[in-house]
Every structure is written in C-alpha cells, then in structure tokens.
Amino acid sequence: MNTRSGVLGLLMLFCLIVLIYLRGRRIERPAIAWLSLLILAGVIELIPMLIGFAGAYNIWPGLTFLPTQVALLTGPLLFLHARALIVGGKPGRWLWLLAPGAAYWLYQLWAFTMLGDYRAKWAFNDAVHVPYVVPAVFVGILVLLLFGIVATWRLYRRYRDWLDNNRADGIEFDAVWVRHLIILVAVAGLIWLGGELAYFFMEWGYERAFIVDMILLGLLGMVGLEALVRLQAPYPKMGGSQAMTTEDTSPARDWRQEGERIREAVREGGWYLEPGLSLDDVTRRAASNSTYVSRSINEGLGVNFSELVNGLRVDHAKQQMRTSGQTILEIALDSGFGSKASFNRVFRDLTGQTPSQYRRSSD
C-alpha cells in the first residue's frame, strides 16, 4: 500500500467512524438514515481509487466493473434527507429518484459477475461502456445532483417561511444545517465535475486525481461532523399546521381589529412566555382556525407569527432589564426564549442593540 492509498484509507475510516456516531443518535432517525447513506455512497464511490493506488488492479485485473459507482444517488439522497428532516413522513413516490442509481448499480453488478475474465470486460468497456454508458451516466449525475440541490433549497426556503408563520421558537430550528449541507454538496459537485472534465479532456490519470479525491473525502467528513453538532433535537415538521395555505372564504373582516384581538390574547394570557408556542396553540386557545389567525396577524398587524410573539418577548425582557437584577440568561429564559443565543439575535434584530448594550444605556 502506497502513501496515497494510506491517506485515502484514513480519510475513509474517519468518515465511517463519524457515520457510526451519527447512526447512534436517537432523534430524527429517518433523516439520519438518508444522510448516512449519502456519506456512505461517497465513501463507496472512491473505493476504486483506494485499491487502485494500492495496486489491486494490477494483481487482480478482473476487478474491472466492481460495482462501486453510486454517484447517481447523491442528489436524491440529499433531497430525501432534507425532506425527512423538514416534512417527515414516508418518502412515497420520491423513492423513484433512487431508481437510476439502483439500475446503474445492477448494471455494474451484471458486468462484474457475468462478462467473464478481464479480457472480455476490457473489450466490453471499450466497445460499449465508455462510448455509450459513461456519457449517459455523467449527464444523469449532473441532472439528479442539480435537482437535489435546487429542490432542497426550495424546501429550505419554504421551511423558513413556515417557521416564521407557525412557530415562536423558529429561530431555534432555522435549519442552518440544511443550508450548509446544500453548500457542501454543491462544492463537492463542482470539484467532482472539475475532476471528471480534467480526466476526459486533459487526460488526468489516477495520480493527478488524488487531490480531488482527498478533498471530496474531506468534505464528506465535514458533512458528518457538522451533522453531529447540528442534529441535536427533533425539528418541527411542516406536515403540521399550514398557515395561509388555503383560501379564506369568510366574509370581509376588519383584519387589523382581529389582529389586535389576537395580540391582546397572547399578551394577556402570557402565552408568549412559553418557549415552544406555536400557531396551533394560539389557534386552539382562540377557538379559531390557523388560516384565520394567521391572516389576522399577517394582514392586520403587518407581521408574521414569529415577529408578533418575539416582539412581545423583547418588550417583556426590556421591562425586566429596567426593573430586575437578573442576569441576561435568566431574563432570556423568563421571557420565553429557548437560549441566550436566540435571545441575543432576536433582541438585536428588533432593537439594533444587544441586551447588554440596552441594559447599560437604560441604567
């Protein structure tokens, strides 16, 4: 085994160790399962480079068509992970996105086991695989990867809007992880594309491709490590209330008056002090429906649900800072925020000052 093979092997081992820790998580298991498959697919895809640098193909030329090319699964697995995390439920028809990757893997398995010795495999490779199959797979990888990135980004944007309109603690579930995963996969895709183009048009060999493979494995490791940090609690699912998604057929109303009524109920009842307050909670307590309550807030008050509740929380926190000797953390928790970090962010967004700056200026 040479140095290149050793480096790739260590990086693969690191990815697999991270994968084991990730699979040990007891939350968001469907989403983690899809993410684990994404990382595993990346490791499997690079096995030929590992054994190639180790000289395995020189010793066993029959390893040609070893079924390890699974890059067609990357885009679909990215989307399925994000969907399981954000929407939940069974993937249903979206499982068909895996069909091209599964079909190509079966094709490789057939070629590996049924074509005979290495001479027959090399002849088939030159006559059929390289001129016809490789270009089709290359285009398929690009199409599915682009679909996965775009579809996941659109899902992420929808989720942020949903959180703003349905959750008071939406800032705790901003799905920064999903955004970072999209970026990491997009960067990995560009690096892979550059490597493939260099291989076809600049006649790069295994030696020059080593740096590309090393970077890709490094990115896979980053994906796993950030997942360990970010996936600490279950994410609210968009399968719950869907504010402002159905047409309101009720008679014309004074939405401002209704919005003020909702705000007063939230304030007088102290509901805004509950860290996990959701639109469903307010709807149930107001004996109404989510579309009506959401429209009262959006059109009547000109804010979304998150802005309404967090505005009341910040007002409460400001009053506490003026009249009590509590610490910033104690005030944050007493005001309904789930953490000091989210309190600082919301407070700064609404007042232009950090809580500490506000406290000093009000003394």
Q: 59: domain CATH number?
A: 1.20.1070
Task: Give pLDDT, residue 187.
Answer: 93
* Distance (Å, whole) CA 250 – CA 314: 33
Are 23 and 152 contained in the same domain? yes
Domain membership flag for residue 99: yes
Are 43 and 188 contained in the same domain? yes
Task: Give pLDDT, residue 1.
Answer: 56
pLDDT band for position 243 (cuts 50, 70, 90): very low
Q: Which amino acid is residue 339, in one-letter code?
A: S
Domain membership flag for residue 240: no
pLDDT tens profile 103-131: 999 999 999 999 988 999 999 999 999 99
Task: Give pLDDT, residue 244.
Answer: 45
Are 84 and 224 contained in the same domain? yes
For the chain, give me the number of helices (H) and strands (E)? Answer: 17, 0
Domain membership flag for residue 238: no
Residue with tokens 């929380």: 313
Structure tokens at 90: 């069974």
Are 189 and 321 contained in the same domain? no
Give CA torsion, residues 78, 79, 84, 85, to 10 deg: 70
Select the more confidently predicted residue: 79 or 209: 79
* Distance (Å, whole) CA 286 – CA 53: 67
Domain end: 196, 230, 264, which one? 230
Buried b (16+ CB within 10 A) or exposed e, 133-166: beeebeebbbebbeebbebbbebbeebbebbbbb
Are 212 and 65 contained in the same domain? yes
Is the CB of residue 31 less than 8 Å from the CB of residue 85?
Answer: yes
pLDDT band for position 54 (cuts 50, 70, 90): confident
CATH, residue 286? 1.10.10.60
Q: Is the dihedral of CA 26, 275, 322, 315 positive or negative?
A: positive
Are 225 and 264 contained in the same domain? no
Is the CB of residue 306 less than 8 Å from the CB of residue 170?
Answer: yes
Select the more confidently predicted residue: 93 or 359: 93
Are 94 and 185 contained in the same domain? yes
pLDDT tens profile 344-363: 888 888 888 888 888 888 76
* Distance (Å, whole) CA 281 – CA 287: 10
Beta partners for residue 278, in sequence order: 167
Domain count, the chain: 2
Domain membership flag for residue 242: no
Domain membership flag for residue 157: yes
Are 153 and 301 contained in the same domain? no
Mean of the per-residue pLDDT values of the chain = 87
Are 75 and 30 contained in the same domain? yes
Q: Which amino acid is residue 347, in one-letter code?
A: F
In what helix (H) or strand (E) does residue 179 lie, and over which residues does it extend?
Answer: helix 176-201
Domain membership flag for residue 243: no
* Distance (Å, whole) CA 1 – CA 222: 26
Domain end: 195, 230, 265, which one? 230
pLDDT band for position 4 (cuts 50, 70, 90): confident
Domain membership flag for residue 329: yes
Are 146 and 101 contained in the same domain? yes
Q: What percent of the chain has pLDDT over 70?
A: 95
* Distance (Å, whole) CA 40 – CA 192: 16
pLDDT band for position 245 (cuts 50, 70, 90): very low
Task: Give pLDDT, residue 235.
Answer: 86
Q: Which amino acid is residue 244, in one-letter code?
A: M
pLDDT(156) > 90: yes
Are 225 and 260 contained in the same domain? no
Q: Give the domain range for residue 24.
A: 3-230
Task: Give pLDDT, residue 97.
Answer: 96
Are 223 and 260 contained in the same domain? no
Task: Give pLDDT, residue 53.
Answer: 84
pLDDT tens profile 291-321: 788 888 888 888 888 888 888 999 999 888 8
pLDDT(8) > 60: yes
> What does each C-alpha distance from 155 to 23, 59, 163, 278 come to in angstroms?
24, 48, 12, 20
pLDDT(250) > 80: no
Task: Give pLDDT, residue 276.
Answer: 82
Domain membership flag for residue 235: no
Domain end: 183, 215, 230, which one? 230
- Mean pLDDT, rounded, for 31-41: 94
Biggest CA pair distance of the chain: 85
